[in-house]
A and B are shown apart, each in its own frame.
Chain A
Amino acid sequence: MSKDKEVLYSELSQAVLEMDEERSVHISGEIVAEQYDAYEAVVHGLADGMDRAGRLFEEEEYFIPELLMCSDAMYAGLEVLKPHLKREESGGRKRVVIGVVEGDTHDIGKNLVKIMLETSGFDVYDLGRDISPQKFVDKAKEVGAEIIAVSTLMTTTMDAMAAVVQLLHEEKIKDKIRVMVGGGPISQSFADKIGADGYAANAAGAVRLAKKLAGGA
């Protein structure tokens, strides 16, 4: 007896929220077996679970360890669903280049934003950590990205963020590529000061911001 797809999506969301990697794989397998839509399962199951985990994080019910375990469960499910995502649904997506600035190797925040963006329908090009301003710009040009997302957790590396915006101006492509910044020491006032297009305080906010920026680009 097959389960209704909405029931499966909701169970998948719950498995992510409860950090249950095995269950996430199992339910994703059921969804594939039932030939339900994989993209819907990502959005209403996996991403929904991460979204709820993000809200628990904002409410200080969940902390970084829980969020990482949720993301492990999410990735495990994504591996199962990925081969079944239909081409046209992944076509025409907006592209984001993401990375942690030069001098900083803390990437928990960046990884979470990356996961949330991916499950929200963005194609994300992850440069990793300790990335020079020039590399952000070069990659964005290469892949035709609409958005560059730059993160840092350290006050010592904030100037590199301003350099990314500066480089885009120098290459006269600032009007084509939006820059969003985030991370512990960053604030809206800092984003304004360096001429970035937006600031997000957390991963869920980063997704909202990216959608807004991509829509307006």
Chain B
Amino acid sequence: MTADQMTPLERFSAYNRGDPIDRLPCVPIVGNAAARVIGARVSDFRGNGRLIASAQVAAYKLFGYDVIRVFTDLYTQAEAMGAKVHCPPDETAYLETPALTDTSEIDRLAPANPYRDGNLPGHLEAMKIALDQVGHEVSVTGAMTGPFTNASFLIGTEKLVRLTLKDPEKVHRLCEISLQTNLRYARAMMDIGCTPSLTDPMSSSMVISPGQFKEFSFPYLKRLIDFIHTRGKTVTLHICGKTSKIWGLMADAGADCLSIDNEADLLEAKQKVGGRVRIMGNVRPSEVMLQGTTGDVRAAVVACLRKAYDSPKGYIVASGCSLPTETPLRNIQAMLDTVREAGYPVNMEQLERGINHE
């Protein structure tokens, strides 16, 4: 195993230019598993930007992966707009009550002020601290929930999806106001040098149809990504579950990198959109990263590499979605170890022999 020869920033910039690199970029989407690195409880992150930063920076330093992502849960923007979030002592928070009980209340909603509302200020603080500490060597991103998904947290998921058929105009109003929060939060992030990282689970083709995605989610994602591009930042877009029928639209929305869930196939992604955008993914977060052995992780990483290492616009080894909080740290290490062993250019034959000899 060779130690890294480049910092993540050097690696990405060489990879983007087509210059030699020491290994492929690797992003286990660590999320709240970072709490375990510093022995913190997940609920301690609430409103504590300093602690979020110290967990995320410690996790980055421990494993040496290629992107820091400040994240606690998907609800931070909706919470800043009036939704209630339940925080178990040591598990990921979840939505308790949407911001609205009825669509007649839509007029009461206002876009969030990221410097004042909910836990957004704490998250911005975490991004700032992480950037000050390690921003010279690694890119720091802030998790941002896509407009359509955030709209579902404002009115409730079931209500929102019914509205897509019953009253589309209301869906557009909820997405528009969600977008206004996105734009303000994105501006605040980029003003301190951080990049928004987009997650939009409700846009999945396991929830809404590709047609509904095009009508209700795509226009808002595109406006958000266009805005982020005006500041010279590249955008990674993650949509959970099955997405193969909307990859073209995700690229049309302007995403530079598609984060592919483990329900979708990397080889198909490479063939369909690999020539337009970078792809990342998709080791199974629960069956492999949470429940598997380090040998399972290695085999899964090799299987991903076999499918996508030569994707034309580049490939990042990653988990298919955020890792569960209790993911064993040795499995995260095994993911990085395998990517380091693979080196660059990736020698698949040698890697696969390694598996057979275990």
Give the complex CA separation of A111 and B283 in angstroms.
Answer: 30
Q: Is B330 an interface residue (CB 8 A)?
A: no
Which of B165, B242, B286 is most buried by chain A, counting CB atoms within 10 A of its CB?
B286
Which of A19, A62, A155 is most buried by chain B, counting CB atoms within 10 A of its CB?
A155
Contacts of B212 in A (CB 8 A): 63, 65
Q: Interface size bucket, A side?
A: 20 to 34
Please provide the chain A residues from 39 to 86 with a CB less than 8 Å away from any CB of chain B in the complex. Answer: 60, 62-66, 68-69, 72
Q: Is B321 an interface residue (CB 8 A)?
A: yes
Give the complex CA separation of A117 and B325 in angstroms.
Answer: 33
Contacts of B166 in A (CB 8 A): 69
Q: How far is the CB of B158 from chain A (nearest CB, A)?
A: 6
B94 near A104: Cβ-Cβ < 8 Å: yes
Choose among A63, A68, A187 the residue that contacts B287 (Cβ–Cβ < 8 A): A187
Contacts of A64 in B (CB 8 A): 161, 206-208
Q: Is A3 an interface residue (CB 8 A)?
A: no
Binary contact readout B94-105 vs A (1 if CB under 8 angstroms, 0 otherwise):
111000000000
Binary contact readout B131-147 vs A (1 if CB under 8 angstroms, 0 otherwise):
00000000000000000
Q: Is A29 an interface residue (CB 8 A)?
A: no
Which of A104, A154, A189 is most buried by chain B, counting CB atoms within 10 A of its CB?
A154
Q: How far is the CB of B79 from chain A (nearest CB, A)?
A: 14
Give the complex CA separation of A155 and B29 in angstroms.
Answer: 14
A65 near B165: Cβ-Cβ < 8 Å: yes
- Number of A-B residue pairs, CB cutoff 8 Å, is 71
Q: Is A217 an interface residue (CB 8 A)?
A: no
Give the complex CA separation of A106 and B157 in angstroms.
Answer: 8
Contacts of A62 in B (CB 8 A): 209
B206 near A184: Cβ-Cβ < 8 Å: yes
Choose among A63, A104, A158 the residue that contacts B207 (Cβ–Cβ < 8 A): A63
Contacts of A60 in B (CB 8 A): 205, 209, 242, 245
Give the complex CA separation of A64 and B206 in angstroms.
Answer: 7
A69 near B209: Cβ-Cβ < 8 Å: no
Give the complex CA separation of A104 and B91 in angstroms.
Answer: 11
B286 near A63: Cβ-Cβ < 8 Å: no
B205 near A155: Cβ-Cβ < 8 Å: no
B324 near A156: Cβ-Cβ < 8 Å: yes
Q: Is B285 an interface residue (CB 8 A)?
A: yes
Binary contact readout B64-100 vs A (1 if CB under 8 angstroms, 0 otherwise):
0000000000000000000000101001101110000
Give the complex CA separation of A109 and B292 in angstroms.
Answer: 27
Q: How far is the CB of A44 from chain B (nearest CB, A)?
A: 26
Contacts of B287 in A (CB 8 A): 187, 189-190
Chain A residues in contact with chain B, CB under 8 A? 19, 60, 62-66, 68-69, 72, 103-106, 108, 130, 154-159, 184-185, 187, 189-190, 193
Closest A-B pairs by Cβ, 7 of them = A65-B161, A63-B209, A155-B286, A155-B324, A156-B92, A65-B164, A64-B207
13 sample A-B contacts, Cβ–Cβ < 8 Å, listed by A number: A19-B165, A60-B245, A63-B206, A64-B206, A64-B207, A65-B162, A65-B209, A105-B96, A108-B158, A155-B286, A155-B321, A185-B286, A189-B287
